[in-house]
Every structure is written in C-alpha cells, then in structure tokens.
C-alpha cells in the first residue's frame, strides 16, 4: 500500500532522515521503533506532507500514486490520515465538532454518520461528552478523540504517532486494543511508538531506526525475540548479549 524508497529529509542544514526505504502492506500494522531523535516522527510528517518541500530525495508512493510534492489536503483525500503526537485537538470546540472536523473533506453524509457511530462504539466515553469542550477532557479521553477524529476521514492508511504518550498503564492497554481492532476492521496502520513492547505485540512487522537510518527490520515476533532489541528497547537484560546496536552492527549486516 505504501512504498518509501531512499528518502532523505532535512530541517534546514540538518539531515534528519538519510536513505530510508520501507513498505507497509495493505491490512497490516507496521511499527517504527527507535530512541528520541531517531527520525520516526519526521518520517510520518514527510509522508503526510506536513514538511514543505520534503523529502529532498527519494520517492513516496501510496497505492501507486506518488505523494512527493502533494499538499496535506490532497494526501488526506487519497486516504491517509495522520494522528500527530501530543493530542492535537481543537480545545475550544466540542467533542462532536472535533469529530466532524475529521470528516471535513467528505461529502457522503450517510457514510459520515456510519463512521461517527463506529467511533463512538470504539470510544463510548466520547458519546457521553459530545457537547463538552474538548480542552476539558482528560489526557486519555483526548487521545481517544484524536484517534476518533482521524477515523472520521475514513482512511485506508492511518499514521499514528506516539498514541500512548503520557497515558496511565491501564489506558495504554485500552488504546492498543482499540488500535488492533481498528486494523482488524480494515484500516492499515503505520505506528510510531516509544513503548516498544506494546507496539510489537500488535504489529505485524517493524523497523528500527537510529540517527535517521534503518538498522534492523523483521516481523514483529522476531524483533521481540531478538536479544539486542530485548536488551536495548524492551527492558529485558539478556546475559551475554551485545550492548547497543552500533557495536553489534559491526558484526552483522542487518536486512
């Protein structure tokens, strides 16, 4: 569904993404893992067109259509929604108004109503808060709202950036269960997530980034069982495992 080929993205003179290639098959959850500053969010912003005149190099194709040079609105109309990090709600609007903003580019009134019912089915608490100002919601409720707003565009591909950030453990489990359900209903997902353990539990495939480059890719189960990943990202110390990817990459060339 999505194919990224050798992209390079810069912030002024700083190269944030350097030669990244990846694929997202239709109907799957693919996760991007890595530390802060690795370039995960930059990749999502490059895909969705939020970084003007980026990428500097390489191509991004969605369902055979090249995204390079398209405006964010055009990319949304093609079927991609981007749920950004930080719960970017319209604080002064109501929950209902926020949801309807997600359907701004649509003209199929009955389809919008069906998706509204679907969103409220996933997030019943939002149905109890429809007339409440969005800025007064709890952090977990705001995260539900931004995901629900993204679904209102009826996307084929959803870009999710740090959906668990700042949430209590019980809420994190609930959010990831909903992400899994959304995928099972037919929405393909590209997921950026610091919580590598939870991301690998729901994902089918994963890529690990360091300093704007992919250093490892494999199916999610294999990544979760990889000694280096377990040691560095899952908080599971493995006796005798190499410390850090930079040291280990000298011994083995990743796929």
Query: Are the C-beta atoms of 54 and 63 separated by less than 8 Å?
Result: no
Tens digit of pLDDT per residue, the chain (255 long)?
A: 999 999 999 998 899 999 999 999 999 999 999 988 899 999 999 999 999 889 999 999 999 999 999 999 999 999 999 999 877 899 999 999 999 999 999 999 999 999 999 999 999 999 999 999 999 999 889 999 999 999 999 999 999 999 988 888 888 899 999 999 999 999 999 999 988 999 999 999 999 999 999 999 999 999 999 988 888 777 654 444 444 444 334 333 333
Q: Residue 62 half-sphere exposure, CB side, CA atoms within 13 Å? A: 23
Query: Are the C-beta atoms of 151 and 115 separated by less than 8 Å?
Result: yes
Q: How far apart are CA 188 and CA 159, in angstroms?
A: 9
User: CA dist 157 to 16, 106, 153, 191, Å?
Assistant: 24, 16, 10, 11
pLDDT tens digits, residue range 82-128?
Answer: 999 877 899 999 999 999 999 999 999 999 999 999 999 999 999 99
> Taking the mean position of all CA atoms in its chain, how far away is CA 163?
8
> The whole model's pTM is what?
0.89
């Amino acid at each position: 569904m999505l194919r990224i080929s050798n992209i390079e993205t810069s912030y002024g003179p700083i190269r944030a993404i350097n030669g990244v290639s990846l694929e997202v098959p239709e109907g799957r959850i693919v996760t991007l893992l890595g530390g802060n500053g690795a370039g995960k969010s930059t990749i999502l912003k490059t895909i969705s067109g939020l970084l003007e005149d980026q990428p500097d190099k390489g191509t991004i194709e969605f369902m055979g259509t090249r995204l390079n040079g398209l405006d964010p609105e055009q990319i949304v109309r093609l079927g991609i929604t981007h749920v950004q990090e930080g719960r970017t709600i319209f604080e002064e609007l109501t929950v209902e108004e926020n949801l309807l903003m997600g359907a701004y580019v649509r003209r199929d009134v009955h389809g919008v109503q069906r998706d509204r019912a679907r969103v409220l089915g996933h997030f019943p608490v939002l149905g109890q808060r429809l007339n409440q100002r969005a800025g007064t919601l709890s952090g977990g409720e705001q995260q539900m709202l931004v995901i629900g707003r993204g679904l209102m565009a009826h996307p084929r591909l959803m870009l999710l950036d740090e959906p668990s950030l700042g949430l209590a453990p019980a809420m994190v489990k609930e959010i990831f269960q909903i992400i899994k359900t959304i995928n099972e209903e037919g929405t393909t997902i590209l997921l950026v997530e610091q919580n590598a353990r939870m991301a690998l539990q729901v994902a089918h495939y994963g890529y690990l980034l360091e300093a704007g480059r992919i250093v490892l890719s494999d199916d999610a189960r294999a990544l979760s069982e990889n000694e280096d990943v377990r040691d560095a990202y899952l908080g599971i110390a493995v006796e005798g495992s190499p410390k850090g990817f930079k040291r280990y990459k000298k011994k083995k060339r990743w796929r």
